[in-house]
């Protein structure tokens, strides 16, 4: 079996549709007025479709989390050198594989429960791509802390969505998966601190990578403190997962910046449309 398996070689059957992450992040619909409202609010017209899309995203994310944690067990020699992964860390990653395999099954059944089928929505593969990093510490920040941290926020949102709809299946499944994700993020936080204890440059690089992934996934106000953001930062679970209050405050800033960027882009588009309308009426 080869090490560092490229994303193009992931095993997927014909039901799966791939989409580039750039196409999802920079989709112009993300800065449309409709996207600036909470699409998962019970009053939102498309709430059920939006929830099904998010559930499918969780499902493919679970597959990639399984693949990524499995690769970290296999891609590195076992040891304490910089290019290696310690045995105890590989054991944690193996435990994570066990959880993620269960999450794949749960998410697949939940998607079905919500009326979706595999491939109804496209799959972007950023999680696996972040899990291909040649430095295991960057895998910990990009995947365990940034993307599984996002999973904590998203699962909390979906759990609350289930509570609002009086759907115990959705509520309890999300709650159980959430408990596992807190552990995965905590493993990322603990190993990050342990492996970079005497290497501040490596820590700095790893946190920089985490920041860029976090920014990508706060796009258009998808995650933020604002009422109109569908996904909010789950502060208490973040603390349980090893995030300091300063790190949580930084995430809030990143999300606020992403929201402001989306608002500014929306204003530019509105101004351009108004200018075109004025020019057309003058002719
Ligand atoms: Fe998971
Ligand atoms: Fe996970």
CATH topology of domain 7-282: Ferritin (1.20.1260)
237 C-alpha to ligand 2 centroid (Å) = 14
Provide the residue-wise pLDDT of the chain in tens; the chain has 283 residues.
899 999 999 999 999 999 998 888 878 787 777 777 889 998 899 999 999 999 999 999 999 999 999 999 999 999 999 999 999 999 999 999 999 999 999 999 999 999 999 999 999 999 999 999 999 999 999 999 999 999 999 999 999 999 999 999 999 999 999 999 999 999 999 999 999 999 999 999 999 999 999 988 887 678 888 788 889 999 999 999 999 999 999 999 998 888 888 778 878 888 888 899 899 888 7
What whole-number distance in Å separates Cα of residue 210 and Cα of residue 118? 29
- Longest CA span, the chain: 73
Q: Kindly state the tokens that stand for 253.
A: 């800033």
Q: Which ligand lies nearest to the CA atom of residue 185 in the structure?
A: 2
149 C-alpha to ligand 2 centroid (Å) = 9
Q: What is the pLDDT of residues 155-179, one digit of tens each?
A: 999 999 999 999 999 999 999 999 9
Q: Which ligand lies nearest to the CA atom of residue 100 in the structure?
A: 1
Q: Kindly state the tokens that stand for 255.
A: 């999300």
List the beta bridge partners of residue 85. Answer: 78
8 C-alpha to ligand 1 centroid (Å) = 22
Q: Which ligand lies nearest to the CA atom of residue 61 in the structure?
A: 1
Closest to 159 (Cα-Cα) out of 117, 106, 219, 210 = 106
| CA distances for 235 relative to 69, 119, 208, 215, angstroms | 25, 32, 21, 17
78 C-alpha to ligand 1 centroid (Å) = 24
Q: Are 132 and 71 in contact (CB under 8 A)?
A: yes
Whole-prediction pTM value?
0.93
Q: Are 65 and 100 in contact (CB under 8 A)?
A: yes
279 C-alpha to ligand 1 centroid (Å) = 52
């Amino acid at each position: 079996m080869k090490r560092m398996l490229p994303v193009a070689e992931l095993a997927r059957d014909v039901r799966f549709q791939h989409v580039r992450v750039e196409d999802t992040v920079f989709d112009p619909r993300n800065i449309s007025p409709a996207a600036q409202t909470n699409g998962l609010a019970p009053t939102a017209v498309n709430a059920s479709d939006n929830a099904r899309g998010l559930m499918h995203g969780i499902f493919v994310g679970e597959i990639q989390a399984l693949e990524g944690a499995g690769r970290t067990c296999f891609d590195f020699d076992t040891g304490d050198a910089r290019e290696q992964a310690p045995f105890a860390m590989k054991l944690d990653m193996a435990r994570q594989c066990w959880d993620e395999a269960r999450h794949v099954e749960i998410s697949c059944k939940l998607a079905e429960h919500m009326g979706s089928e595999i491939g109804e929505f496209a799959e972007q593969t950023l999680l696996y791509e972040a899990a291909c990093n040649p430095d295991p510490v960057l895998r910990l920040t990009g995947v365990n802390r940034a993307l599984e941290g996002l999973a904590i926020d998203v699962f909390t949102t979906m759990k609350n969505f289930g509570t609002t709809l009086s759907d115990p299946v959705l509520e309890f499944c999300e709650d159980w998966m959430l408990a596992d994700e807190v552990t995965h993020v905590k493993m990322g936080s603990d190993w990050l601190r342990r492996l970079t204890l005497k290497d501040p440059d490596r820590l700095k690089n790893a946190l920089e990578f985490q920041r860029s992934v976090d920014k990508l996934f706060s796009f258009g106000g998808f995650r933020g403190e604002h009422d109109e953001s569908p996904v909010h930062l789950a502060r208490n679970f973040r603390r349980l997962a090893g995030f300091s209050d300063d790190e949580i405050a930084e995430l809030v800033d990143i999300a606020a910046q992403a929201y402001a960027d989306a608002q500014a882009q929306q204003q530019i588009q509105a101004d351009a449309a108004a200018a075109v309308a004025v020019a057309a009426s003058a002719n």
